[in-house]
Amino acid sequence: MAAVGTEARGGEGWRAAPLNIPRSPGKLPRPRKRGRDPWGRQSATRRNAAFHSADTLAPKGAPRASPFPRSLTLLTARPARSPQSPPAPRFRWARSARPAPRSTVSRSLEVPRTPWPGLRCPLGRRPLPAWSPCGGIRAAAAAPAWCVPCLVSLDTLQELCRKEKLTCKSIGITKRNLNNYEVEYLCDYKVVKDMEYYLVKWKGWPDSTNTWEPLQNLKCPLLLQQFSNDKHNYLSLVNKGKAISLKDNNKALKPAIAEYIVKKAKQRIALQRWQDELNRRKNHKGMIFVENTVDLEGPPSDFYYINEYKPAPGISLVNEATFGCSCTDCFFEKCCPAEAGVLLAYNKNQQIKIPPGTPIYECNSRCQCGPDCPNRIVQKGTQYSLCIFRTSNGCGWGVKTLVKIKRMSFVMEYVGEVITSEEAERRGQLYDNKGITYLFDLDYESDEFTVDAARYGNVSHFVNHSCDPNLQVFNVFIDNLDTRLPRIALFSTRTIYAGEELTFDYQMKVKPQSGKNVFSSLIVAFVIMVSNIKVSAASKSGFQYS
């Protein structure tokens, strides 16, 4: 982070906020010898004069102090003097007994320090050996190096930067936008001398900088509309079954209404960030949207989005096929399903044509056919835009489609953590006590493994149960041909229109059909199809069949 307006002789230099570090448990590396260059090239007193302003080492006569608390000083990058010179920026311990020169700005930030191994610092741009979930600030003078963690959110860091007049490109605070004021949301409302005012929360600024602004100065019609809608929704909740009359001549809002509006605004921001995170993690074409117009519930705190099975410790998933087809047109040639003893599962419109219980064998990574192969459907992922929404019937979160889905089309895959059946029994008792169900038994041929989507999953984690579902379960084999570990695909059973909730039957039991039964079912379907064609032709020609 750089202090705004700081310049040093011979070039630009900056000095960041010293960080008061609380004592951390465990023994830490001591700083280098006082008065020596941490890079080991020359003494600190013989450095280039352009960088003297950032040096805050204590004088030689200063008493030796305890290593905590100390102020952490961020120094500018030195010009490269040799190929061995480490890259910038560099960080080192510095005693605060000596006051900083006038050309620098010194600030104090309270940052907790907690061990967290093996992550990267967004500020230091270098890998860190230990401490903190997001990295932190690297202490270059200590050997081995350690860092100060960033245990606060990005918003808090931005607010601290603006409050202390510091810049940091890594978190989006530059000299250009340091003093920018953008309305994040509206907190309150009042009328003074027949003039309407709104209490504005500025984006990237702490709550202490909120200001009352006249309505004529606000150029944010969407936020004004959201403020009005939130106020109306609160009054609707409070006055259930009663007529609502919005009195615009009130001089100020009640504290309860203003508190609800602020909570709703914060929830909306949190859901938007969660939506962005889901779309960053997904690997399919369909977009994911999130909305909650029912209550103040925010994103789930213990859910991690994944795109494929996550094996539990001790379980190995072999995602590499042993053979593949060499078809030029898999729709007409002997393809992977024929090698497995079943027929191709899809028609030319990419709709499933086999009955439930029949396995689907798609072309895999060893097949010579391209990505446009008609036997590659599930592996392409969800093609429809879906919305995770808060239901109004007390079922928590649900999933609805934002576009029309044709019947017998692939919608999504059910993924989660693959665990043993014994572990599933143990977790099932815990889930039953909480009234939740996320366990899906992989019982296509045996009952050895179970998919648990409670903590790890995709959009299917939020699909609710229904006794009249519009989704059907199918077992799919692609790269992993182990019949104990099929992939679970959900196909539409009928046409699903935009805005309709997606559901499947949690108690659905689909037993695998033998080759004879599959063949018989297909023969019956073929006979029915031919009969329908004859009846249609006869109707057009005037004949009737009895």
Locate 364 and state its tokens. 């895999």
Question: For residues 368 and 377, is the Cβ–Cβ distance under 8 A?
Answer: no
Distance CA 315, CA 419 (A): 7
Considering only CA atoms, which of 472, 454, 473, 470 is closest in space to residue 502?
470
Locate 305 and state its tokens. 């989005």
- One-letter amino acid for residue 11 of the chain: G
What is the sign, positive or negative, of the torsion defined by CA atoms of 152, 155, 156, 162? positive
pLDDT at 107: 39
pLDDT at 247: 53
Distance CA 430, CA 253 (A): 45
State which residues of the chain have pLDDT below 70. 1-151, 241-250, 508-546
Distance CA 166, CA 502 (A): 48
Cβ within 8 Å of residue 297, ≥6 positions away:
267, 390
Q: Where are the domains of the chain?
A: 154-236+251-272, 285-504
pLDDT at 66: 40
Locate 358 and state its tokens. 């029949």
pLDDT at 339: 87
Distance CA 225, CA 423 (A): 50
Concatenating the DSSP letter of every residue in 174-226 gives -TTTTT---EEEEEEEEEETTEEEEEEEETTS-GGG-EEEEGGG---HHHHHH
φ, ψ of residue 411 in degrees (nearest 5): -110, -55
Question: For residues 440 and 488, is the Cβ–Cβ distance under 8 A?
Answer: yes
Cβ within 8 Å of residue 238, ≥6 positions away:
none
φ, ψ of residue 407 in degrees (nearest 5): -65, 150
pLDDT at 381: 94
- Termini Cα distance of the chain: 87
Q: Which residue has the tokens 């679970």?
A: 488
Alpha carbon distances (Å) from 115 to 69, 72, 90, 221, 488: 17, 17, 21, 45, 39
Cα three-residue angle 42-69-31, rounded to 5 degrees = 25
Map residue 227 onto helix, strand or coil: helix
pLDDT at 88: 38
Distance CA 383, CA 398 (A): 18
Distance CA 528, CA 47 (A): 91
CB-facing half-sphere around the CA of 251: CA atoms within 13 A = 2
In CATH terms, is domain 154-236+251-272 a member of 1.10.287.3510? Answer: no
pTM, rounded to two decimals: 0.66
Distance CA 107, CA 404 (A): 56
Considering only CA atoms, which of 135, 115, 461 is closest in space to residue 302?
461
Cβ within 8 Å of residue 427, ≥6 positions away:
419, 439, 452, 454
Question: For residues 465 and 437, is the Cβ–Cβ distance under 8 A?
Answer: yes
In CATH terms, is domain 285-504 a member of 3.30.530.20? Answer: no
Distance CA 175, CA 1 (A): 11
Maximum pairwise Cα distance, the chain: 115
Considering only CA atoms, which of 388, 406, 411, 390 is closest in space to residue 459?
388
Length of the chain in residues, anyone? 546
Question: For residues 262 and 187, is the Cβ–Cβ distance under 8 A?
Answer: yes
pLDDT at 220: 92
Indicate the angle between helix axes 221-238 and 255-281, nearest 10 degrees: 120
Distance CA 532, CA 408 (A): 20
Pairing verdict, β 417-420 and 360-361: unpaired
pLDDT at 531: 36
pLDDT at 150: 60
Distance CA 196, CA 2 (A): 39
φ, ψ of residue 121 in degrees (nearest 5): -90, 125
pLDDT at 513: 52
pLDDT at 510: 55
DSSP state at residue 51:
G
Considering only CA atoms, which of 178, 183, 146 is closest in space to residue 163?
178
